[in-house]
Chain A
Amino acid sequence: MSLIDLQRDMRTWLHVGDTAGSRAPAMRAGLAVYQNNYRAQLIECLATSFPVTRDWLGEAAFRYAAADHIDAVPPSSWTLDAYPRDLPATLGRLYPDDPEVAELATFELALAEAFVAADADVIDTARLAGVDWDRAILRFVPSFDIHDVTSNAPALWSAIINGDPPPAAAMLPEPAGLLVWRKDDVSRFRTTDQTEVQAILRARAGAPFADLCTYLVNDLGEAEGVAAAGRWLGQWIGEGLITPIEGEFPCVD
């Protein structure tokens, strides 16, 4: 048998446990070790990647979901860090009436990905006076991302992480945005309303800050739009979300 055929046979054996073992009874014990290693490692990867989701679901239910996921989604990346990325979709399929389950997993995944996202400088507030705000385009740090949230998954996560009794799962009055990023080596998050989400999406798409202000004035009215633009800009900078601004012209002594 060629090496490639042997490796394809072994892949099939590992993933679905075909008849390779019965064709080679002398190798059955060894094959069983490799298959056990394969599944145990993937289950361990999922369990350690989603401790809060696991706590919320319970050990037995989480392991059932993990086993279902391993059957449905063979690992493909060179890094095990990539394997958890599809679990929220599996949980969404398994728990269609409990959106907090998949959203908890999405939340945990987002925190983990922010933790190892690329490093970036953030804007120095001392240089803000030199920014040409008519031309300025805001760039968010690479660890920053936005996710939709329809349930109280962030509240569930906070309660479980803090060792408090979690509230009952509940739907939010309206879908919200979940902002996740890293600052000072710690993954951070907050939820926000759709108005800020839309402003961030416009800024991320490359709209100059001046256009963002115009959008907000049109959406919220002049006073509130200008106030919101200033408030969010200050908040985003303070939270460490913004990299040095294009069109920034430092003050010259």
Chain B
Amino acid sequence: MPPAPFSGFGIGLRKPHYAELLQQPVDVDFVEVISENFMVDGGQPRRILRDVRERYPVALHGVSMSIGSADGLDGAYLKRLRALVDEIDPLFVSDHLSWTRIDGFNAHDLLPLPYTNEALDIVCANIDRAQDALGRPMLIENPSSYIDFPGADMTEWEFLDHVAARTGCGLLLDVNNVFVSATNHGFDPVAYLDGVPADRVRQVHLAGHSQGSDLLIDTHDTPVCASVWDLYAHVLPRLGPVATMIERDDAIPPLADLLAELAIARGIGCPALEAAA
């Protein structure tokens, strides 16, 4: 079973906002942090995370589990993540439908998977192992992608549907990633959002992107664009109670600007969730 639903609005917590978030009450229902930034032995990062956790629910969002690695998961990584999970008792633990490691090489990027039956078996086996190691169900996030492999057996949303059904994981739906991949690969983002298994979605990411020379790039350095807001408004009634958050990883604005952007999400989200209730 996926994690229990949580309805609320949050932000991705990054270093420039640590002090402000700890010095005064901030109007967020939860925060999300990058797991790996806190999978250290000790010191200030762990202490800050404990302090934040005393004030807000915290979601752990990973980038290095490499759930799509054909040679399996890194046991040392899982052990460290489990220790962090035990200490923080997070709202959610998530990572991406992607791979980053093979044969001891780690690209530190969210590399794409071909949506084949073989890849589905590998991803499901890895998620099963991760969820066993963590002692809890995960959320798996759809990535932005820049390559559309030929020979796929299914679409990305069908792949996610199978993954959720077979492993019991929940889903983290990144609406910006849907928009970026749809633009890059020429599929209909509304068909994606209408096809994704809504009852499995527990969290929504909203972020900005940039136009590269040939493709849209998931840069997380700009505000959420109008098209992504429209897609968010479209999909929300299907989702029911869900945790929505704004992600910003570069050109990080003042916290007040981020909260203003979160207010837009609330303005769209609250009526939609009430209507769906």
Residues of A within 8 A of B (CB): 2-4, 6-8, 10-11, 14-15, 26-27, 29-31, 33-34, 37-38, 41-42, 45, 74-81, 83, 115-120, 142-143, 182, 185
Residues of B within 8 A of A (CB): 36, 39-47, 64, 66, 68-71, 74, 76-77, 99, 101-109, 111-114, 116, 118-119, 122, 145-150, 184, 212-215, 217
B212's contact among A7, A33, A75, A143, by CB below 8 Å, is which?
A33
Inter-chain contacts of B66 with A (CB < 8 A): 78
Question: Chain A's nearest CB lies how many Å from the CB of B27?
Answer: 28
B interface secondary structure, majority: loop
Q: Tell me the nearest residue of chain B to A2, going by C-beta.
A: B118
Inter-chain contacts of A33 with B (CB < 8 A): 146, 212, 215, 217
Q: Tell me the nearest residue of chain A to B36, going by C-beta.
A: A79
Q: Could you tell me if B41 and A118 are in contact, using CB atoms closer than 8 angstroms?
A: yes
Q: Could you tell me if A116 and B106 are in contact, using CB atoms closer than 8 angstroms?
A: no
Question: Chain A's nearest CB lies how many Å from the CB of B138?
Answer: 16
Q: Could you tell me if A11 and B43 are in contact, using CB atoms closer than 8 angstroms?
A: no
Inter-chain contacts of A78 with B (CB < 8 A): 36, 64, 66, 74, 76-77, 101, 106
Q: Could you tell me if A3 and B118 are in contact, using CB atoms closer than 8 angstroms?
A: yes
Q: Could you tell me if B108 and A75 are in contact, using CB atoms closer than 8 angstroms?
A: yes
Given contacts A7-B99, A29-B215, A31-B147, contact A75 B43 (CB under 8 A): no
Cα A80 to Cα B34 with chains together (Å): 13
Could you list 9 further interchain pairs (A-B, Cβ under 8 angstroms) beyond the known A2-B70, A30-B112? A3-B70, A3-B116, A7-B102, A8-B102, A14-B107, A38-B107, A38-B109, A78-B77, A80-B108
Given contacts A11-B102, A75-B105, contact A34 B43 (CB under 8 A): no
Q: Could you tell me if B44 and A185 are in contact, using CB atoms closer than 8 angstroms?
A: yes
Given contacts A2-B118, A3-B119, contact A11 B105 (CB under 8 A): yes
Inter-chain contacts of B71 with A (CB < 8 A): 4
Question: Chain A's nearest CB lies how many Å from the CB of B276?
Answer: 36
Q: Tell me the nearest residue of chain B to A116, going by C-beta.
A: B40
Question: Chain A's nearest CB lies how many Å from the CB of B67?
Answer: 12
Inter-chain contacts of A10 with B (CB < 8 A): 102, 111
Q: Tell me the nearest residue of chain A to B74, going by C-beta.
A: A78
Q: Most chain-B Cβ atoms within 10 A of its Cβ — which of A42, A45, A77?
A: A77
Inter-chain contacts of A77 with B (CB < 8 A): 106
Q: Tell me the nearest residue of chain B to A114, going by C-beta.
A: B43
Question: Chain A's nearest CB lies how many Å from the CB of B200?
Answer: 24
